[in-house]
Structure 1
Amino acid sequence: MTRSPGTPLPPPKARRRLREAASLTQAQLADRMGVTRATVRTWESGRTTPRGRKREAYAALLKTLAEEESAAAKPAPVPVVVAVRTGPGSPAEDTETLVLPAKAPRTEEQQERRPEPLPKPVALTPAQAFDALYEFGTPALVRQTFLLTGRRELARESVERAFQTAWENWPEVARDPDPVGWVRAVAYEYALSPWQRFRPRHRHPEPPPADPGDRTLLNTLLRLPPRHRRTLLLYDGVGLDLPETAAETEASTPATANRLLNARRAMAGRLPELADPDVLHRRLAEVASNERLRAAKPPTVRVGSERRARFWTRAAIAFTAALIGTTALALRTAPTHYEPPVSPGETVRGVPPKVAPGALSDEELELRQKLRDQMQDGPERLTPRLE
């Protein structure tokens, strides 16, 4: 399954800036686009991207707002369109258009004045960068994991554990082109782990959502197989395209498309009003937004990650020391030469082996005397005699 390249869109920050420059609220823009305010909020935050006709209409509206902004500026700047790829080797639909206003011509006084040096960008420490990523991605990830599992505490725990793993592997996560996706994959794997069902907390169900419609949608979603549920949530909930969904679920593109179609068919069979993907996307966002989901602060997550890393490091050191001590003790007490075992007694020429020490019987005394009287060097015919 392939897709044609979509209409280029400005970055999320540029979308919000163009709307605010036109003095439009999110509700007004949502009315003009025919969507909800929550959908516009996700477009401007970068969590989702419109597709199909919504994408073309949104791109045309943003282009109109950019032209109005450039026409109102004095002197009128000439917009410069720059195509920016989101990552190396990204497809054409991931190309974004960034509109930059041209600078006005400088006056003679400005030309004679020396330009002031630009302030140097402030470099964030690893802890500050982690805290920023945590505060940006935690709310959405907790809501998505709640839709995936139907459990609030498990969703919070899964996201916190995923961020703890991200802090332990921070150099790798910092270089990743999509760090939120890295954390999301770890959180989903932890939440859908089979051993979660053996925990005592899993035996006690949590209270369902208060709204009957939200409760019905969540129960229908939880009836899907975990793989189909995850695929549906990534594609229709998060807004990933099919190749990205296949890569995150570690499946082929045809298999992912088949899971998505089966999940949509199952959802539409129980809830016919959710047959439209746009309606399904909006309802998933509403159900997740209606829940009050909390998460720990970034310093608490970092401290917990470091504490867990120290625990496992000390446990590995203790196990290694115990293994070395056991090996040394075995080498110290092991024999240095081979000692063959004593073979058990056997009957020789009709003489029974001695079972236990004690007084000899008459037969044994007679046999002993007979053996002592006879020559021990061989038969008499071999004994030399003096003549």
Structure 2
Amino acid sequence: MTRSPATPLPPPKARRRMRETAALTQTQLATRVGVTPGTVRAWESGRTTPRGRKREAYAKLLKTLAEEEAARQATQAPEREPAPGAEPAPVRDPASEPAADPETHAEPEPEPKPEPESAPESAPESAPESQPESVPEPRPESVPEPRPAPVALTPAQAFDALYEFSAPALVRQTFLLTGRREQARESVERAFQTAWEHWPEVARDRDPVGWVRATAYEYALSPWQRFRPRHRHPEPPPADPGDRTLLNTLLRLPPRHRRTLVLYDGVGLDLPETAAETEASTPAAANRLLRAREAVADRLPALADPQVLHRRLAELASNERLGAEQPPTVRRGGERRARFRTRAAIAFTVALIGTTALTVRTAPTHYEPPVSPGQAVHGVPPRAAQGALSDEELELRDQLQDGPARLSPRLE
């Protein structure tokens, strides 16, 4: 029995783009397909792939959305790009309006134009010359000027623009997580260096700032930071007592609760985006947010209101003078780190190959059992010297030479 081939589907990112273009939420699309919103989220992220009847229904719905989008673009194309034959239309409209209502327009230019037609015959060539000079005057104003084509940015220019736009804010946000200025600055620089190493992926990402922010937060909250020598020396706290109390309250929260609070009340993300960036479910993110707010409100009752807490977090981050390096410096630092890792990997590979070759060259080709060390044997009588046999030895020799009779037992 042969199985029919599966219905082809577009890539996950294309599925999400088609849904957003059609102005559908994941819940609405899940209702039309007959699945849960979490299943649609997994399909669009690429974690799972639909199968069976759900795959066919999903593919049919996506095809319908694509056809609607194509029809919508086809209807909008004539409006955005008028045909060359329709260009005189906007010229005739203003000319016809004054004739219909001459009292409301102050330009009586179309009325005196017929006068040159009744001019004397001595100047017959002046009439046709005066007509084209008056008609095309409003024409250049009605034709829209073509927009200049967008200038394509190089990868370095795009990276520099992203860095200059988001780096200062990310440094202030990371300071709320760590309470250390140098660590916050270093975390953001490392995140941007990682983004430069994976720039094709980051440039195509739907939210490149979120990509860099997640990387910076992971580096800043890494447990290995506590083993660094710089972590043993505390930095000076904020000058304002209120800022100092709020920062100490944030640092007492667990890292996951602190990160959720900063993303939701500090950055301003919604709950699903906060849950996705912290790699948690939406109920778990909501639970962490509630616990973090309760802990802050217990120590600072004035910040029980989320709006007041959002304003205080913004003030705490903006009161600190936190600068960032220039984009070329960050790019060169990332390139140096990439070259160092590449050379280290090459050196390790060469050393491994050399060690393997030396082992193969010097290793024995067959098994040789090891020789056990000698051991002393005790209880062996000393060897007797040569000489005449004693009477007992002679009697014993006679008994042994008697033949089979010596094997029979005797009573003595």
1:288 to 317, 320, 328: 317
1:252 to 268, 276, 281: 281
In structure 2, distance between residues paired with 1:90 and 1:201: 47
Matched to 1:106, the amino acid is: P
CA-CA distance at 1:115 after TM superposition: 6.2
CA-CA distance at 1:301 after TM superposition: 0.4
Name the % identity: 79
Which runs of 5 or more structure 1 residues have no equivalent in the other structure?
A: 1-83, 94-101, 353-362, 371-378, 382-387
Whether contact under 8 Å (2:91, 2:142) holds in the other structure is no
Q: Deviations over 1:76-103 (max 9, x none)?
A: xxxxxxxx9599976699xxxxxxxx99
2:178 to 131, 134, 149: 149
Matched to 2:90, the amino acid is: R
2:158 to 129, 153, 171: 129
Q: Report the structure, 1 or 2, having the larger helix content.
A: 2
CA-CA distance at 1:107 after TM superposition: 2.7
Structure 1 counterpart SS, 2:90: coil
In structure 2, distance between residues paired with 1:145 and 1:233: 9
**Taking structure 1 as reference, are residues 87 and 284 closer, same or farther at Cα in structure 2, changes over 3 Å only?**
farther
In structure 2, distance between residues paired with 1:118 and 1:304: 39
Whether contact under 8 Å (1:87, 1:177) holds in the other structure is no
**Which residue of the partner structure matches residue 235 of structure 1?**
264
**Taking structure 1 as reference, are residues 92 and 174 closer, same or farther at Cα in structure 2, changes over 3 Å only?**
farther
**Which residue of the partner structure matches residue 139 of structure 1?**
168
1:194 to 223, 226, 246: 223
Matched to 2:323, the amino acid is: R
In structure 2, distance between residues paired with 1:120 and 1:380: 125
Matched to 1:309, the amino acid is: A
**Taking structure 1 as reference, are residues 130 and 88 closer, same or farther at Cα in structure 2, changes over 3 Å only?**
farther
Work out whether 1:107 is the aligned partner of 2:107: no
**Which residue of the partner structure matches residue 177 of structure 1?**
206
**Which residue of the partner structure matches residue 356 of structure 2?**
327
Higher relative contact order (CA 8 A, sep 6+): 1
**Which residue of the partner structure matches residue 355 of structure 1?**
none
2:334 to 283, 286, 305: 305
In structure 1, distance between residues paired with 2:225 and 2:248: 19
Structure 2 counterpart SS, 1:106: helix
In structure 1, distance between residues paired with 2:236 and 2:284: 34
Matched to 2:256, the amino acid is: R
Structure 1 counterpart SS, 2:331: helix
Matched to 1:292, the amino acid is: R
Alignment of 1:334-349 (within 5 A): 334-343=363-372
In structure 2, distance between residues paired with 1:92 and 1:286: 37
**Taking structure 1 as reference, are residues 345 and 260 closer, same or farther at Cα in structure 2, changes over 3 Å only?**
closer
Q: Deviations over 1:218-249 (max 9, x none)?
A: 11111111111100010011111111111111
**Taking structure 1 as reference, are residues 233 and 345 closer, same or farther at Cα in structure 2, changes over 3 Å only?**
closer
Q: Deviations over 1:15-41 (max 9, x none)?
A: xxxxxxxxxxxxxxxxxxxxxxxxxxx
Matched to 2:303, the amino acid is: L
Q: Deviations over 1:98-157 (max 9, x none)?
A: xxxx99x83354389876543221110100000000000001100100111111111100
CA-CA distance at 1:200 after TM superposition: 1.1
**Taking structure 1 as reference, are residues 186 and 323 closer, same or farther at Cα in structure 2, changes over 3 Å only?**
same
Whether contact under 8 Å (1:242, 1:257) holds in the other structure is yes
Whether contact under 8 Å (2:90, 2:142) holds in the other structure is no
**Taking structure 1 as reference, are residues 175 and 86 closer, same or farther at Cα in structure 2, changes over 3 Å only?**
farther
Which runs of 5 or more structure 2 residues have no equivalent in the other structure?
A: 1-18, 29-78, 81-88, 93-135, 390-399, 403-412
In structure 2, distance between residues paired with 1:87 and 1:226: 38
CA-CA distance at 1:344 after TM superposition: 5.2
Looking at CA atoms only, which structure, 1 or 2, has the larger radius of gyration? Answer: 2
Matched to 1:211, the amino acid is: D
2:245 to 216, 232, 238: 216
**Taking structure 1 as reference, are residues 233 and 88 closer, same or farther at Cα in structure 2, changes over 3 Å only?**
farther
In structure 2, distance between residues paired with 1:345 and 1:203: 59
2:290 to 261, 270, 283: 261
**Taking structure 1 as reference, are residues 311 and 107 closer, same or farther at Cα in structure 2, changes over 3 Å only?**
same
TM-score with structure 1 setting the length: 0.63
In structure 2, distance between residues paired with 1:166 and 1:287: 27
